[in-house]
Amino acid sequence: MNKVLTSLNTFFLILLFLSLIFSMFSFPKLNIDETQSIKVNFYELIQQNDILFDPPAANTLIKKEAKKTSAINEKTNADETSIISKFKINKLDIKNEITKIKLSKEREDILRVSAIIQQRISSIWIKPNSLSESLIAKVLINLAPSGEILNFSLIEPSSNTSFNESILTAMNKMTFFEEVLSLERKLFEKNFRNFNLVFKSSGEIE
């Protein structure tokens, strides 16, 4: 009898020992909110099913994406067109600008040479002192391309003889206007081959 009790005690001790060992080395149980997990998965499943199995919804999504892409492309094309038009070179505009620059340069040259000729004649012209009226006389001058004065004539004399003679005396002292040598031949022929000078009793020459 004692042997049986002893065996039972030994058996229970072994079981107790084994249970302690298993409790110490057992893995911790993960706390998973099954309800939440199922809910999320189910929602995602519904989302995917709606897109995969609902043709109108899928078409709407495709149309939205296509519209968005089209809008981006249109904006890009508009920007490129704007840049191209901004920097587009218009040959006619360039030609007009070059013409303006050329005309401006030609006018500047004409005014410069004219002013020098007027100043040179004015420096040797001696006007009569006894002029009581406003007088004007016009002289036609013919030049060679070298600047040599080939001929001049009083084409519109004033009513005062002494005034007219003072002009002719000044012109006889002039032989060359070498300033025209700096001009292009075409510009010379057009403006200085034959040109007029207007003498005024105020002392101005135009």
Counting the structural domains of the chain, the total is: 1
For residue 194, the domain's CATH number is: 3.30.1150.10
158 in any annotated domain = yes
157 in any annotated domain = yes
- Pick the residue with more confidence: 47 or 2? 2
- Give pLDDT tens digits for 188-202: 999 999 999 999 998
114 in any annotated domain = yes
Q: What is the pLDDT of residue 3?
A: 63
Which residue in 189, 192, 187 sits closest to 106, CA to CA?
Answer: 187
Q: How far is CA 47 from the centre of its chain?
A: 53
88 in any annotated domain = no
17 in any annotated domain = no
Residue with tokens 């007219």: 164
- Give pLDDT tens digits for 82-141: 655 555 566 666 666 666 676 788 899 999 999 999 999 999 999 988 877 899 999 999
Averaged pLDDT score across all residues of the chain:
77
107 in any annotated domain = yes
**Angle in degrees, 0-180, between the axes of helices 34-53 and 55-87, rounded to the nearest 10:** 70
Q: What is the pLDDT of residue 37?
A: 46
Q: Which domain holds residue 105?
A: 94-200
Supply 197's token pair: 């000078």
Amino acid at position 27, single letter:
F
What does pTM read for this prediction? 0.52
- Pick the residue with more confidence: 187 or 31? 187
167 in any annotated domain = yes
25 in any annotated domain = no
- Give pLDDT tens digits for 127-169: 988 877 899 999 999 999 999 999 999 999 999 999 999 999 9
